[in-house]
């Protein structure tokens, strides 16, 4: 994002994602490369929801932007959530150690029943896809395209190479049988 137009376009995407997260347990934090989307573990109004949902893991979506060409990449980072007794009453969530770092897309699905809490939406899944979906929806609406990162490209190349080896093996087995 070297030019001012690219910076402005990138800021529009970050603002659109931020607007879609109003009154949700997610927060946007600007970074040098773009922005991060993560659960807001600091805001106490979400703690009881996290506890009821049995939150033990969370994800940070690192969004890298190339504003001049409207390209973005999402890299997921997984963390454990530790619950500790705080200064006030009850348990407070803390971000624990990073348990996994994967370049590209991490898929983690959890399911639980939703319940109402003081007129607040509580049907969040806290899956790795939830925040990713919010980001990609806003990006698509503004004309951004998602690009594959290096790990995803390597995975595709390895998959194609494996398919070629498998087909060659089958062909040779049929030919010399």
The 10s digit of each residue's pLDDT in 112-121 is 444 444 444 4
Measured distance between the N- and C-terminal CA atoms of the chain, rounded to whole angstroms: 58
Residues 6+ apart with CB under 8 A from 160: none
Q: Can you give the pLDDT at residue 113?
A: 41
| Predicted confidence (pLDDT) at residue 163 exceeds the cutoff of 90 | yes
**Which residue shows structure tokens 């003081």?**
118
The 10s digit of each residue's pLDDT in 122-143 is 456 566 788 889 999 999 999 9
Q: Can you give the pLDDT at residue 85?
A: 63
Mean pLDDT of the chain: 78
Q: Can you give the pLDDT at residue 118?
A: 47
């Amino acid at each position: 994002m070297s030019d001012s137009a690219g910076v402005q376009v990138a800021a529009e995407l970050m603002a659109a994602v931020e607007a879609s997260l109003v009154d949700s347990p997610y927060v946007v934090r600007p970074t040098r490369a773009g922005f991060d989307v993560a659960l807001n573990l600091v805001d106490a109004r979400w703690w009881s929801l996290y506890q009821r949902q049995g939150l033990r893991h969370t994800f940070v979506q690192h969004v890298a932007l190339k504003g001049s060409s409207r390209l973005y990449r999402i890299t997921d980072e997984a963390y454990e959530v530790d619950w500790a007794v705080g200064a006030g009453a009850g348990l407070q969530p803390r971000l624990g150690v990073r348990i996994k770092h994967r370049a590209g897309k991490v898929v983690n699905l959890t399911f639980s029943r939703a319940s109402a809490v003081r007129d607040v939406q509580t049907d969040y899944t806290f899956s790795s896809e939830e925040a990713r979906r919010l980001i990609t929806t806003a990006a698509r609406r503004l004309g951004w395209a998602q690009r594959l990162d290096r790990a995803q490209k390597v995975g595709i190349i390895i998959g194609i190479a494996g398919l070629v080896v498998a087909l060659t093996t089958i062909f040779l087995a049929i030919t010399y049988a």
